[in-house]
């Protein structure tokens, strides 16, 4: 898709314009390869044309990305000027002093442009990339799971769109009794842990107490896992062994009237050439007992501390995260969700991405899975334990107590 509309969008929204040509500057950008990178290449080509800055785009396989970034930054090669970083790597990178503090940059109009509007970024996204009061990356892209349901099926059953735990159980139970149920990504793996993280936030609790100690035996944590277990009883046949792809297919072909799915797969659901339910769906935050919440699976743009062109690299990052550039990415790929609050209700985007207002509601309380250095041990243990809870009927409190006893000393 040609980016003919970007300049016009920028003009209308008064987004930062690229500055005068600077043909002596070359910036190297690191990110993972794929369709999103291909779309982004068009944006980078436009930036180069407008500024004269040469951009070398090092888009490589995701499995090699962290290793290559770390190798370059740890040896201070100055190879990279702008890098794509998920929330899971930021702590390690900042501890190693690999990243530039962008706090002063985002308030410098000479670098951002006059109408960049940092206040428009979702606060949860900014917080993810902030350490000890310093901002180390510009929030760019987010995925989060939502409840997806067939409005026509619920209307025919006389059911309201579910929000709370009890409402969701009522809907799931009804459809289970009718021969289907709710499609759930409850296979042993990352998805069920992601869902647990959001359910904890929706119950105003966390994996850890206020001091940072592991707190899995907290009654509010146990209650959330008990909800997972009860919901699993009303799952579509076999869905306790499903991941996201299987849930997507069940929704797409109308086998499941309701399910929990990650946002990166929504586009296929709304494509009439691929989906039996396109145009019939509605979206809601994951069930909650206290307040809506959402998961922050994010990527942001960071400037390595060893970059030889830190200010120019930031200018590029600011341009990529401008409202106009982010809107263009969402136009090219509706599954692309930015952290710009103003874009969640943009009529041009919501026409093809009707889930955006719900994402905004969920991310008002955005949370991550545990990110501490020892977090993989915890998430792996929870993955196994939660699988036992939904598949074998293991007692939630007993499962959580066992992980607490084993891992508490590591946090």
pLDDT band at residue 2 under the 50/70/90 scheme: very low
Residue 192, C-beta contacts closer than 8 angstroms, at least 6 positions apart: 185, 186, 228, 383, 386, 387, 390
**What does the pLDDT look like over 190-203, one tens digit per residue?**
999 999 999 999 99
| Pairing state between β 182-183 and 281-284 | unpaired
**What does the pLDDT look like over 195-229, one tens digit per residue?**
999 999 999 999 999 999 999 999 999 999 999 99
Mean pLDDT of 48-58: 95
State both tokens at 409: 């000393």
What pLDDT shows up at residue 273? 95
Provide the edge-to-edge strand list for the sheet that holds 54-60: 54-60, 26-32, 82-86, 297-302, 138-143
Would you list the domain boundaries of the chain?
A: 4-143+296-366, 146-295+372-410
pTM check: above 0.95: no
Is the confidence at residue 310, as pLDDT, over 70? yes
- Rounded CA-CA distance 264/286 in Å is 16
What pLDDT shows up at residue 22? 60
CATH class for the domain made up of 146-295+372-410: alpha beta
State the average pLDDT for the chain. Answer: 94
Is the confidence at residue 247, as pLDDT, over 60? yes
What are the b/e assignments for 222-253, b being 16+ CB within 10 Å?
bbbbebbbbbbebbbeebbebbbebbbebbbe
* Fold: same for 4-143+296-366 and 146-295+372-410: yes
Give me the architecture of the 4-143+296-366 domain, per CATH. 3-Layer(aba) Sandwich (3.40)
pLDDT band at residue 24 under the 50/70/90 scheme: confident
CB-based contact 183:235 (threshold 8 Å): yes
What pLDDT shows up at residue 9? 42
H-state helical runs in 3-86: 4-13, 35-51, 62-74
Rounded to the nearest 10 degrees, how much is the dihedral formed by the CA atoms of 337, 339, 343, 349?
0
What pLDDT shows up at residue 271? 95
**What does the pLDDT look like over 347-379, one tens digit per residue?**
999 999 999 999 999 999 999 999 999 999 999
Mean pLDDT of 384-394: 97
Percent helix, strand, coil in the chain (nearest 5)? 50, 15, 35
What pLDDT shows up at residue 21? 54
Share of the chain above pLDDT 70, in %: 94
**What does the pLDDT look like over 284-305, one tens digit per residue?**
999 999 999 999 999 999 999 9
SS3 336: coil
CB-based contact 228:182 (threshold 8 Å): no
């Amino acid at each position: 898709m040609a980016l003919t509309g970007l300049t016009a969008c920028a003009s209308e929204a008064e987004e930062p314009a690229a500055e005068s040509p600077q043909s002596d500057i070359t910036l190297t950008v690191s990110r993972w390869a794929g369709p999103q990178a291909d779309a982004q290449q068009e944006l980078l080509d436009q930036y180069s044309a407008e500024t004269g800055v040469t951009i070398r785009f090092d888009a490589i396989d995701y499995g090699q990305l962290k290793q290559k970034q770390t190798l370059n930054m740890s040896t201070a090669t100055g190879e990279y000027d702008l890098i794509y970083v998920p929330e899971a790597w930021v702590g390690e990178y900042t501890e190693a002093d690999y990243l530039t503090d962008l706090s002063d940059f985002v308030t410098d109009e000479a670098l951002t442009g006059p109408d960049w509007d940092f206040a428009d970024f979702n606060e949860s996204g900014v917080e993810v990339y902030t350490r000890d009061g310093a901002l180390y990356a510009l929030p760019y892209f987010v995925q989060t799971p939502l409840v997806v349901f067939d409005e026509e099926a619920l209307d025919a059953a006389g059911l309201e769109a579910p929000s709370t735990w009890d409402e969701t159980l009522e809907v799931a139970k009804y459809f289970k009794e009718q021969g289907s149920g709710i499609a759930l990504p409850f296979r042993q793996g990352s998805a069920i842990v992601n869902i647990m993280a959001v359910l904890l936030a929706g119950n105003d609790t966390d994996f850890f107490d206020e001091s940072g100690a592991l707190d899995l035996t907290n009654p509010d944590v146990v209650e959330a896992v008990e909800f997972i277990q009860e919901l699993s009883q009303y799952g579509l046949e076999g869905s306790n062994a499903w991941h996201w792809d299987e849930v997507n297919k069940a929704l797409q072909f109308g086998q499941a009237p309701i399910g929990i799915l990650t946002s990166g797969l929504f586009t296929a659901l709304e494509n009439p050439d691929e989906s039996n339910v396109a145009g019939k769906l509605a979206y809601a935050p994951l069930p909650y007992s206290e307040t809506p919440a959402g998961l922050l699976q994010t990527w942001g743009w960071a400037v390595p501390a060893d970059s030889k062109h830190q200010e120019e690299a930031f200018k590029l990052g600011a341009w990529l995260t401008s409202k106009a550039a982010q809107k263009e990415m969402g136009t090219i790929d509706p599954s692309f969700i930015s952290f710009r609050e103003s874009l969640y209700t943009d009529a041009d985007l919501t026409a093809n991405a009707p889930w955006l207002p719900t994402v905004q509601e969920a991310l008002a309380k955005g949370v991550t899975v545990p990110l501490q250095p020892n977090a993989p041990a915890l998430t792996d243990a929870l993955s196994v334990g939660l699988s036992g809870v939904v598949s074998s009927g293991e007692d939630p409190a007993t499962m959580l107590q066992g992980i607490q006893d084993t891992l508490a000393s590591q946090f």
